[in-house]
């Protein structure tokens, strides 16, 4: 299973245990920036379950700059809803994606997902996360250390979290170290350990850590 949420779902529907191995994050592809710009960021597919509408409405209310990078079936509706402080970039190349992550004030995660790699990519870029306290975010965001939570999936709750947010509280090096716990090398080592246990040994997991 990729998270405790999926582990619980497997137990509920299939009545069997599942071992958790978190998906890998390629932290080597991201790096903190010495400069941070004045915008908050959403990055990904613009689809209903991601609840980007909450962010657009919250930022309409706050009047703060929000950048949305990505495309999807909700884009037209979100653009109609958005005020002038909300900017839509559409799909962006990888280099621009990395730059946006490294220079945002914070990365927003208003939806609920089973895991979610993008918040960890933001941490690998030295930036904190403002996330809805549900699903995989509960396992990837450390409240007050790598980001902050809002506990109701509402415009009011998100707006309050953003208004109270202080990026100066977060240390980019600490955020980066947190993301590295989910790195590709860690994933390979965990997978090798699981295979060792499942097969009664025979796989040298330490050899995998350097590959």
Cα separation values, 4 from 9, 139, 160, Å: 8, 8, 28
Q: Whose CA is closest to 111, among 91, 132, 90?
A: 132
22 falls within a domain:
no
Residues 47 and 92 grouped into a single domain: yes
Structural domain harbouring 50: 27-170
* CB neighbours of residue 75 within 10 Å: 17
pLDDT of 120 above 70: yes
Number of structural domains (the chain) is 2
Output the pLDDT for position 22. Answer: 75
148 lies in some domain: yes
Q: Give the per-residue pLDDT at 206.
A: 47
Residue 209: pLDDT over 60: no
Band of pLDDT at residue 205, cut at 50, 70 and 90: very low
pLDDT digits (tens, 9 = 90+) for 18-71: 777 778 899 999 999 999 999 999 999 999 999 999 999 999 999 999 999 999
Strand ranges, E, within 56-119: 66-69, 86-90, 106-109
Here the tokens at position 133 are 């306290």
Question: Of the candidates 206, 207, 190, which has an alpha carbon nearest to the alpha carbon of residue 198?
Answer: 190
117/6 Cα distance (integer angstroms): 15
On whether both 111 and 209 belong to a single domain, the answer is no
What pLDDT is recorded for position 146? 98
């Amino acid at each position: 299973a990729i998270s405790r949420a999926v582990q619980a779902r497997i137990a509920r529907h299939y009545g069997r245990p599942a071992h958790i191995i978190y998906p890998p994050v390629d932290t080597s592809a991201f790096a903190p920036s010495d400069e941070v710009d004045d915008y908050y960021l959403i990055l990904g597919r613009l689809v209903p379950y991601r609840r980007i509408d909450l962010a657009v409405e919250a930022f309409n209310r706050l009047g703060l700059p929000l950048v949305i990078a990505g495309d999807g079936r909700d884009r037209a509706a979100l653009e109609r809803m958005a005020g002038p402080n909300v900017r839509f970039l559409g799909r962006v190349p990888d280099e621009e994606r990395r730059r946006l992550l490294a220079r945002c004030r914070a990365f927003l995660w208003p939806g609920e997902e089973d895991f979610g790699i993008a918040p960890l990519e933001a941490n690998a870029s030295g930036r904190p996360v403002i996330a809805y306290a549900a699903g995989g975010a509960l396992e990837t965001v450390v409240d007050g250390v790598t980001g902050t939570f809002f506990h109701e999936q509402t415009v009011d709750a998100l707006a309050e979290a953003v208004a109270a947010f202080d990026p100066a509280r977060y240390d980019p090096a600490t955020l980066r170290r947190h993301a590295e716990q989910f790195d590709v090398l860690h994933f390979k080592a965990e997978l090798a350990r699981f295979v060792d246990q499942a097969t009664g040994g025979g796989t040298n997991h330490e050899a995998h850590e350097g590959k």
